[in-house]
Amino acid sequence: MPFISASAITPYNMIRELPLIGGLVDPILAYSPFNVWDSEHETRVGTTTTFLDYNNVGTAYDLANPAASNQPTYNASSFDFNSLPSFTFDGSSDYVINNVSNYRNSDNSGMFISVYKKLSGNLMMTLTVGAETTNRYFGYNSINSNSFRTSAAMDAGTFSFRGTENVDNTNPQLVTYAGTGSEYKMWIGDSEQSIVIIQGNNDGAKWLDSTNDYGNLAIGARVSPTISYSNIEWCFSGYFPYVDDATTLEIIAILKTKYAI
């Protein structure tokens, strides 16, 4: 009989402990994301697209395009993401946003996870936190030295770090980065990265609690105070508590299977 790892079945055991509401429960909710959006929880009414935050533990922040010219393009079935829906952001005007005051400004740790594909350019604005009146931001992501890099500017200073693995930008990506409270971590797919510090120190000291004036959440762009756009095909973004590496890999495994990455 083949060996089956207990860690591989843990997420599915946890699903059975959750109540069924109108059908199957998304297994990602077993990990209590603070906020989570995907290409299936959405509404499109005329020129307004809204990504519905379907977390089950905290305040929901739905994200919508502020004007018709900012509306991303809906793809009913994506070849790149296991025939699931996706949205394309054009890199010049498309984004969705919610003006959130002091977003999770007591968090000294956490984890951001996104599933996307780069179409052009080097900016990967999969989920950003910004301040529209000051130069404060979190989740300014780019491809740097052929690897994934994330940066933040906050009252307590800046941090910027990248992984060491060359990112194949012709294929869909699953990227995770975290602050544990004592260090920064990153995974490309399920491959943990060696952290290269660009600014700051690898001490995990700077996180969302390091700024009190964050004023928005966005996908497809960073709004802080000017707007930087990304040309990406997007399927999923979430902000989770960081528990440990094993839990992180369980979440990654669910997403890898769902989107066939």
Q: Domain for residue 222, yes or no?
A: yes
Q: Domain for residue 1, yes or no?
A: no
Q: Which residues of the chain have pLDDT under 70?
A: 1-24
- What pairs with residue 149 in β-bridges? 142, 162
Q: Domain for residue 197, yes or no?
A: yes
What CATH number corresponds to the domain at position 250? 2.60.120.200
| Planar angle of CA 101, 45, 40, nearest 5 degrees | 75
Locate 5 and state its tokens: 């790892």
Q: Domain for residue 133, yes or no?
A: yes
What is the per-residue pLDDT for 122?
A: 94
Q: Domain for residue 92, yes or no?
A: yes
**For residue range 209-237, what is the model confidence (pLDDT) as tens digits?**
988 788 999 999 999 989 999 999 999 99
Q: Domain for residue 26, yes or no?
A: yes
In total, the chain counts a number of residues equal to: 261
Distances (CA, A) of 25 to 11, 162, 236: 12, 34, 16
The range of the structural domain enclosing residue 184 comes to 6-259
Q: Domain for residue 213, yes or no?
A: yes
Number of domains in the chain: 1
Q: Domain for residue 163, yes or no?
A: yes
